[in-house]
Amino acid sequence: MAVRPNGDSCFVYFAHQGGRLMPAPDTRMRPEQCGLDPKAWRRCEAVGAKEIEKVSLILSRQVWREKKDRKVSQILREMDFLKQRAASARLRKAVNFTAKDVQVNARLEQRWSEKQDLMLRIICEEFVPEKRQTALEMELKDAPVNPHHLGQKKVGVNV
C-alpha cells in the first residue's frame, strides 16, 4: 500500500481477461514480473477507500466462490455414500429384530437424510457481502501512525 501526496491510499491488483482479480505483491510490480502473461493480465490501481472497498468485495466474492466450489465437489463425492448409508439403515429397520433396533435404525436414517439436506443447502447457498469473513490484509490491520513503529519493536521495560 503506497501513500499518495493527497493522503489517499492505493491498492494495486492484476485483472485477468476472464474477470479474475489477483492482489499484486508490490505496488511497483507489473504482471510479467509476477510470471503472468501481460497479454491476458492487466495492472490496475484502486485509489481511495470506496474503490478499495469495491475491489475487496470482488476479491471476497471470488475467494468465497472458490471455497464453495471445493465444498460442492466434496459434497458430490460424499452424496453417494450418504444415500447408501440411508438405504442400509432403512433395510435394517425393515428387518426389525427388536423394537429398539427399529428406533435406532430410524434415527440413523433420519441423521443420514439430514446430512444430505445440509449438503444440498450448502450447494444452493449464495454470497452475502454483509456476512463475509474474507478481507484484504490491509483492511485487517491499522497502519502505524508513527513511522518508527514499522519494525514493531517492543515498548516498555523488558522483564
Burial grade of 130 (CB within 10 A; 0-12, 13-18, 19 or more): exposed
3-state secondary structure of 137: helix
Helix, strand, coil share (%) of the chain residues, nearest 5? 55, 15, 30
Lookup: cell for 125:
447457498
Per-residue pLDDT tens for 21-66?
Answer: 999 888 888 888 888 898 999 999 998 888 888 898 899 889 888 8
Tens digit of each residue's pLDDT (9 = 90 or more) over 77-107? 888 888 888 888 888 777 777 888 788 888 8
Distance from the first to the final alpha carbon of the chain: 35
Q: Where are the domains of the chain?
A: 69-135
What pLDDT does 88 receive? 83
**Residue 40's pLDDT is what?**
92
Model confidence pLDDT, tens digit, residues 54-77:
898 899 889 888 888 888 888 888
